[in-house]
Amino acid sequence: MGQFMLLLHDDATDDAELSAAEMQEIIARYRAWSQKWRESGHLTGGEKLTDDPGRIIRSGASGQGMIVSDGPYSETKDVIGGYFLIIADDYAAAETIARGCPHAERGKPIEIRQIQTMD
């Protein structure tokens, strides 16, 4: 049993042409998915990240101190749009949950990472 993070890679421009009914349908599918796994105790949390590229901070050349720039995604449309936290037996079980997520069903990538425990 472990804790996993589902990182939802997203390209916001994909959604620009969706119709009103399609958007409502997408929300309904997310609701069904999250309700199912929340009730079963597998889905424990999640947050949406804003669609801007964010910031990245790294140390510059010697003597320059820290440099802050636009986030790692400024050059690409692909961003981490949000994440879900789930509890699953192993990667295979986590995959099963992620596979049914409307995000994946719509052809968008989900990165699955296990959270390191202390022991």
Partner 1 sequence: MTGVPDSPVEKLADQLFRRESGRMTAILLGRFGPAAVDDVEDIVQESLLRACRTWPWKGIPDNPAGWLWRVAERLALDRLRRSDRTGTDVMLSEVGDQWIPVDLLVADEELRLLFLCCDPVNGPETSVPLTLRLACGFSTREIAAALLLDEATAAQRISRGKARLRKLGAVEVTALPGGDVAERLRPVLNTLYLLFNGGYGGNDQSRWIREELCVEATRLSLVLTRNPTTATPEVHALAALFHLLTARLPARQVVGELVDLEHQDRGLWDGRLIGTGLRHLGRSKGASAPTVWHLLAGIAAEHALAARWADTDWQSILNYYDQLVLISDDPVVALNRSVAVAQVSGPEAGLSAVPDGAALQEYHLFHATRARYLRDLGRLAEADVALDLAIHLAPNEAVRRHLKRQAPTRL
Q: Which is nearer to partner 1, 18 or 115 (CB)?
A: 18
What DSSP line would sit under 92-104, residue for residue? HHHHHHHHTSHHH
Residues 16-45 contacting partner 1, CB under 8 A: 16-32, 34
Residue 72 to residue 69: CA distance in whole angstroms: 9
Select the residue interacting with partner 1 from 2, 81, 91, 112 (CB under 8 A). 81
Position 92 contacts partner 1 (CB under 8 A): no
Tokens of 1: 């049993």
Select the residue interacting with partner 1 from 2, 9, 51, 78 (CB under 8 A). 51
Q: For the CA atoms of the chain, what is the radius of gyration?
A: 17
Nearest to 40 by CA among 2, 88, 7: 88
Position 13 contacts partner 1 (CB under 8 A): no
Position 12 contacts partner 1 (CB under 8 A): yes
Residue 6 to residue 18: CA distance in whole angstroms: 24
Select the residue interacting with partner 1 from 47, 68, 92, 117 (CB under 8 A). 47
Q: Are 49 and 9 in contact (CB under 8 A)?
A: no
Select the residue interacting with partner 1 from 2, 53, 72, 82 (CB under 8 A). 82
| Binding region for partner 1 (CB under 8 A) | 12, 15-32, 34, 46-48, 51, 81-82, 102
